[in-house]
Structure 1
Amino acid sequence: MQGKLKPRKIDQGVFRELYCQLMMRRGLPFKFIEYPEFRSLITYLNPDATPFSRNTSKADMLRIFNRDKIKLKTELATIPSRICLTSDLWTSCTTEGFISLIAHYVDLNWKLNSKILNFCHMPPPHTGFELSKKIGDFLQDWGIEKRVFSITLDNASANDILQQTLKKQLVLQKGLICDGEFFHVRCCAHVLNLIVQEGLKVLDDALDQIRTSIKYVRGSESRMIKFKQCLEKISDINSSSGLCLDVPTRWNSTYLMLQSALKYQRVFASLQLIDENYKYCPSDEEWERATKICKFLQPFYEITTLISATSYPTSNLYFLQVWKIQCLLMKNLVDEDKVLKDMAELMMQKFQKYWDEYSVILAFGAILDPRMKLETLGYCYERLDSLTWKIKLEKIKEKIYKLFSHYSSQGSSISNVQK
C-alpha cells in the first residue's frame, strides 16, 4: 500500500520573499498578511508555515528594495552607454504631489531597458528650481550624475526652469556631452496632444452634443435599454464596440469617442423619437462635421499610437512621423472646408511653437536608422521648403558630426588608458 505523501518542508525565507512579490505586483495592503482567511488558507496548505506580521512584511519589502537597488546601481555603473531619463509629476486623489524618474539604457547584451529609479512624494513648491534639486539628488544617489545623455519632459512651464538649472549643474560637473547641447528633449506625445487639443477648440458645439448624448445614454440602465431597443431595429450596425466617453485631457480618447458615436448615428436619431427626455441629438450638420473631423484626426491617432509604444524602440520613427504631421497640416491649411482650415491654422500655430525646427535628437534617430539616413532627411526638408532645405540639412550634419567627434575622442582616450 502506497504511503501518504509527506507535506513539503517550508522554507520560511522563500515564503516571505514570494509573499512580498505578491504584494508588490498586485498592490496588496500590508495588513493582508494578517487577514484570518488568508492565514487559514496558508495553515491548510502547510501547517508548518509560520505566520508573520505586517511589520515583518514591511521590513522584508524594504530589504528587497535595498537589495535590488544595489544590483541596479552595479548594472548602471558597468554599462558602456549613456543613460536617457524621463521624469514627470503626478497628483494623487488626495492632492499630494509625486515625482518619478525613469532611466532608459542599453545593457551589455544590447537590450533596451527602462527602470523606475524613483517614485516618491514631492512636497510643494513644485517650482522648476525645487524639481531640478530633487532630480539632482536622485542622480547623485544612483551615482549616474556623470552618465546622463538627455532628459525628456512634458511642456509644463516649470520644466523649462528644471532642465535649465539641472543642465547648468551637470555641465559644471562635466557630466554632459557637448555642454548639454542635446540634453533637453520635449515629450512628443505631449506636444502632439497640445497641438490636437488646440484644433479641437473649433468643434466645441458639435463635441459637446455628442459627449452629452453619450453621457445621457450611459446615465441609467433604463436609457441603455431604450438605446439597445433602437439598435436592434437597425440590423446593419456592428454593435461589438460600445460607446466611449472621452477624457478631456487626452485628445486620442476624444477621437475614439467620435469614432464610436458615428457608428450609432442612426440609433441616436431613433432614440430621439422614442425618448422625449433626450434633447441632445446632434443635427445632421453636426454629424457631418464630426465625420470630417474624425477622418482628419485618424492619421494623428495612428501616429500617437505608434510613437507611444513601449515594447520596441521608437526614437528612429519620430522624425518621419513629425514630418507627416506637418505635411497634413500644410495640406489642410488650404482646405475648402472652413472648419478643417480653422483647425489646421490653430494646430499649425502650436506646431511652430514647439516643432518649427524638428528636435535635433529626433533627426539623429532617423539618420542612424539604416533605412533612412541623411538622404531621407534631405527629401523631407525639400518637400516642405525647396529653398532652405539644404541649410537645415547642413545644420543637422554639423550637429551629428560634433556628437560623433565627442564619442570618437572618448574612444581614443579609453584606448590610450588601456595601453
Structure 2
Amino acid sequence: MSQNTAQKRTKRSFVWGFFEKINKGNSNVFRCKVAGCKTELSCSGNTTNRRYHLQSHHPVELREAQSGNRMSSDSSFNDDERDNAEGMHHQKQTSMRKYIKQSGISYNPASQKKKELDKALVRFIVKDIQPLAVVDDDGFAEFVHALDPRYCLPSRRHLRDVLLEQAYQKTVQHIGEILKPIKFIAITYDGWTSRTTQGYLVVTGHFIFEEKLSTATLGVIPIPSRSTSKNLKELIFSVLKRFPNVSVVCAVTDSGSNMISACDLMKMRHMPCAAHKIQRIVMVGISKTERSFSSKETEDFVEKIFCDDNDNVQNCDVSVYNVIVKCKRIATFFHHSSSANRSLEQELHNAKRQLTKISQPNNTRWNSVYYMLESIWKIGEALFAVLSKCGKWELDLTPAEKHLIPQILAILKPFVKATTKLSGDSYPTVNLIIPTTKQILTELNSLLSLSDNEVVEEETTVFEVSENNKDAKVVIDSQEAICFLKQLVSSTREKMLEYETRTASGFSTILDPRFKKHGFISESNYRMMAEKLKEELKTVMATQNRTHIECTSSIEPVPCVSKRAEYTFLNNITFTRHDRSIHSTAQAIVHLNKYLEDPITNETTDVLSFWTNYTACEALSAIALRFMIIPASSVPSERVNSTAGNTITDKRARLTPTFAEQLVLK
C-alpha cells in the first residue's frame, strides 16, 4: 500500500515542464519558459493557475503537450529523471511555430516585412469578419507557415489589444484626413441591440470625395443607458467632434420619436427614411386585408404575419393577408424539414424545372415577403405535390389562393424596385424619392386602369410578370387584389407625397437634370419648392458676394434617348423650350430660370458629374452638390448594424464593447 502511494506521489503533471521556480524576494514564483513569455505566477499547491495561463496564452503549446505520448503511469522515474524525460518529450514535440521562435529564423518584430504581414492579417480579420481565435487554429497556422515559414502569427490578445487598435486609430485618422477639405456631410444613425442586450448607436457619413459619392462609418458607440433623445444627442456629438471641419446638411433616420427629437435638439435638418415609409405602407396594407383588422391593432397584425399561430387564419377566407400567412407556414415547414426539401428537389428534377430555394420571410424588410411568394409561385405545383406526399394537406392553398399569388406579386413589384433603388449608397438617392413615388403611383394606377376622378366598380387589368424567364400575362381580376391595390394607392399618396414639401427631397428633384418639374406629382408643390430654391440661391450668392454672374452655359442640351427608360413615366414627356424672358430681378432668378428652361437630360446622366462640371452658376452647383449627398434611407447604418451583429455575437471573438467599432471602420 505504501509502495503504491509512493508511486502515485512521484507522478507529476506535464504542466510543470512549462515553468521554472525562481526566488523573488521573500517568496518563490513560477516563471513561464515558453519563448517570448516571462509571466510570473504565484506558488500554490496545484497547477490550476499555471494551466489557466497556458490555456489563455499558449493554447497551441498546451495542445501539443496534451496530444503527445504521455509518460507511463507505472514508470518509476524520480522527479529529476521525470523532468529530464518530459523536457526531452517536449523537445521532440516542438511545433513549427515554436521552433521558428527558438531558432531565431523568424522575422524580427520590428522588421518591415513583419509589420506588412501583420497588417495583411488585420485586413483579413476585418474584411471577412473572422473571429480572433483564427490565429489559434492549427489549420490556419499550417497554411500561413506554408506561405511564409518565417512569419509567426501573433497571439489573440496581441491581435486584439495592439494590432487592431493601431489599425483602428489609423482608420480614424485617415477618415479625418479625407474629411478635412469636405465642407458638408449628411449622416444617418440607427440603434441596434445585441443578444446580450447591449445597445449600440451607428453613425454613418455621406459626402463627395474625388467627384464620387462616398460613405464612411463614423462611429459604432455603445449606449451606456436608455436611448433617449438627449443621450442620442450626446453620443452623436461625441462622434462629430472628431471631424470639426464639416457641417451636417441633414440627418436621415427612421420615424422613431427619439430619433426625430435628437435631431431637433441638435438643430439639424431631419428627413425620414423612405425605405421605412415603404415598409410601413406595404405591411399595413397587407394587414388591412384581414377581415378582423382594427386600426388600433396595426402593429399586432404586422407582427402576426410572421408568426405561426394557426388561429390567425380563417381557412374559409380568401385574402392577401391569409395567403401570405399560409405561404409563411409553407416556407417554415420546408425550412425545418430536410426530407421535404429532398422530395422537392427530386420533384423539380423529374419535372426538369430549375431548383429554387423557398425564401424565409423576416420582419425587418418586407421585400422578404415578396421573395417568399415569388419562390413559391415559381416552384408551382411541384411544391403542393410534395405537401400531399408528406401528409401536410392543411398547408395546401385553395385554387382561389393560388390564383391570387401572381396578382399580389404584380401589385408589389413596383415597391420592390423602389426599395432597391432608394437603398443604394454609391449614387445620389434623395433626388429619386419623389420621381420614384410618381412611378409607383403611375404603375399602380395602370393596374387599376383609373384616372384620378374615374371610379370603376369592376376592374380587369393586365400586368407583365416573369416566370421561369418567360413573360406571362397576369390578369388583376380578383376583388381581394383590387381592394389591396386601392389601399396601397391611397397609403402611398398619404405617406409619400410629403416628400414633395420637404426641402432636401424637393430641391434635389428640381436640381436633377433628368427630372426637374417632371419628377413632381403636384404642380403646386413644384412651384412652392422652386420659389424656396430661388430664395436659397439668393442667400448663397449673397454669401459668395456674386452680384453679377454672366449667364453662359457650357453644358450642351442632351436629347432624351428613345430607349426604354428606367423611370417609365418619362417616356411620354414632350420636351419644350420656353422663350427666355430676362427680367430685372435678382440674378438668382435668372440663373435658376435658365437651368429650368433647358431640356431634361437622358436617364444615363451622371448627376454628380453634371453639377461638378456645371459652370453657368457656381452657387446653383454648390446647392445641388450639397443636397445630393443626402441618402434617401437609413439603410447604410442598418448595414453596419448587420456587420456589427455578425461580429459581436461570434463567441470566439471575445470582443470588447468598442471592438465592433474597430471592425466596421474599414
* TM-score, L = length of structure 2: 0.53
Q: Deviations over 1:54-95 (max 9, x none)?
A: 33322122122212212321321212x411111111222333
Higher mean Cα deviation, 327-336 or 9-18?
327-336
**Could you tell me which residue of structure 2 aligns to residue 67 of structure 1?**
170
Tell me if structure 2 keeps the 8 A contact 1:319–1:365. Answer: no
> How far does residue 48 in structure 1 lie from its aligned partner after superposition?
3.7
> How far does residue 255 in structure 1 lie from its aligned partner after superposition?
0.7
CA distance in 1, matches of 2:138, 2:423: 44
**Could you tell me which residue of structure 1 aligns to residue 234 of structure 2?**
133
CA distance in 2, matches of 1:51, 1:299: 51
**Could you tell me which residue of structure 2 aligns to residue 165 of structure 1?**
265
Is the counterpart of residue 97 in structure 1 residue 199 in structure 2?
yes
Is the counterpart of residue 226 in structure 1 residue 343 in structure 2?
yes
CA distance in 1, matches of 2:505, 2:532: 12
Tell me if structure 2 keeps the 8 A contact 1:104–1:113. Answer: yes
Tell me if structure 2 keeps the 8 A contact 1:198–1:346. Answer: no
Higher mean Cα deviation, 333-342 or 81-90?
333-342
CA distance in 2, matches of 1:38, 1:242: 33
**Could you tell me which residue of structure 1 aligns to residue 323 of structure 2?**
206
Higher mean Cα deviation, 84-93 or 347-356?
347-356
User: Which runs of no fewer than 5 residues in structure 1 stay unpaired?
Assistant: 1-5, 168-179, 382-388, 414-419
**Could you tell me which residue of structure 2 aligns to residue 194 of structure 1?**
280
CA distance in 2, matches of 1:275, 1:50: 55
Tell me if structure 2 keeps the 8 A contact 1:133–1:166. Answer: no
Tell me which amino acid in the other structure corresponds to 1:184: H
**Could you tell me which residue of structure 1 aligns to residue 495 of structure 2?**
354
Distance 1:33 1:260, change over 3 A: closer
Distance 1:233 1:61, change over 3 A: closer
One of 296, 312, 324 as aligned partner of 2:411: 296
**Equivalent position SS for 1:68:** helix
Tell me which amino acid in the other structure corresponds to 1:282: L
Is the counterpart of residue 403 in structure 1 residue 536 in structure 2?
yes
Q: Deviations over 1:193-239 (max 9, x none)?
A: 1111111212221112222123223332222233334434545xx32
CA distance in 2, matches of 1:43, 1:326: 61
CA distance in 2, matches of 1:133, 1:406: 31
Q: Deviations over 1:343-367 (max 9, x none)?
A: 2454356445532332332222221
**Could you tell me which residue of structure 1 aligns to residue 125 of structure 2?**
23
**Equivalent position SS for 1:141:** coil
Tell me if structure 1 keeps the 8 A contact 2:404–2:481. Answer: no
Higher mean Cα deviation, 184-193 or 126-135?
126-135
Higher mean Cα deviation, 7-16 or 216-225?
7-16
CA distance in 2, matches of 1:10, 1:133: 41
CA distance in 2, matches of 1:51, 1:214: 45
CA distance in 2, matches of 1:221, 1:285: 29
Larger helix fraction of residues: 1
* TM-score, L = length of structure 1: 0.81
> How far does residue 52 in structure 1 lie from its aligned partner after superposition?
3.3
**Could you tell me which residue of structure 1 aligns to residue 394 of structure 2?**
279
**Equivalent position SS for 1:78:** coil
CA distance in 1, matches of 2:350, 2:178: 63
CA distance in 2, matches of 1:60, 1:260: 45
CA distance in 2, matches of 1:223, 1:317: 43
> How far does residue 25 in structure 1 lie from its aligned partner after superposition?
1.5
Tell me if structure 1 keeps the 8 A contact 2:431–2:512. Answer: yes
> How far does residue 411 in structure 1 lie from its aligned partner after superposition?
2.4
**Could you tell me which residue of structure 1 aligns to residue 516 of structure 2?**
373
> How far does residue 287 in structure 1 lie from its aligned partner after superposition?
1.2
Tell me if structure 2 keeps the 8 A contact 1:316–1:366. Answer: yes
CA distance in 1, matches of 2:141, 2:341: 43
Tell me which amino acid in the other structure corresponds to 1:68: T
Distance 1:298 1:37, change over 3 A: closer
CA distance in 2, matches of 1:39, 1:229: 42
Tell me which amino acid in the other structure corresponds to 1:166: M
Tell me if structure 2 keeps the 8 A contact 1:90–1:97. Answer: yes
> How far does residue 189 in structure 1 lie from its aligned partner after superposition?
1.1
Aligned residues: 379
Distance 1:279 1:166, change over 3 A: same
Distance 1:15 1:268, change over 3 A: closer
Distance 1:62 1:272, change over 3 A: closer
Q: Deviations over 1:6-41 (max 9, x none)?
A: 999872222222222222222233343344554455
Is the counterpart of residue 12 in structure 1 residue 114 in structure 2?
yes
**Equivalent position SS for 2:498:** coil
Q: Deviations over 1:266-296 (max 9, x none)?
A: 2234235433244210101111122211111
Tell me if structure 1 keeps the 8 A contact 2:215–2:426. Answer: no
| Identity between Structure 1 and Structure 2 (%) | 21
Tell me if structure 2 keeps the 8 A contact 1:99–1:119. Answer: yes
Tell me which amino acid in the other structure corresponds to 1:221: S
**Equivalent position SS for 2:541:** helix
> How far does residue 44 in structure 1 lie from its aligned partner after superposition?
5.0
One of 436, 459, 463 as aligned partner of 1:321: 436
Tell me if structure 2 keeps the 8 A contact 1:73–1:143. Answer: no
**Could you tell me which residue of structure 1 aligns to residue 307 of structure 2?**
none
Is the counterpart of residue 184 in structure 1 residue 270 in structure 2?
yes
CA distance in 1, matches of 2:157, 2:479: 65
**Could you tell me which residue of structure 1 aligns to residue 185 of structure 2?**
83
CA distance in 1, matches of 2:376, 2:151: 55
Distance 1:284 1:149, change over 3 A: same
Which structure has the greater CA radius of gyration? Answer: 2
> How far does residue 254 in structure 1 lie from its aligned partner after superposition?
0.6
Q: Deviations over 1:349-398 (max 9, x none)?
A: 64455323323322222211222223x146x32xxxxxxx3x32221012
**Equivalent position SS for 2:394:** coil
**Could you tell me which residue of structure 2 aligns to residue 260 of structure 1?**
375
Is the counterpart of residue 363 in structure 1 residue 496 in structure 2?
no
CA distance in 2, matches of 1:36, 1:264: 44
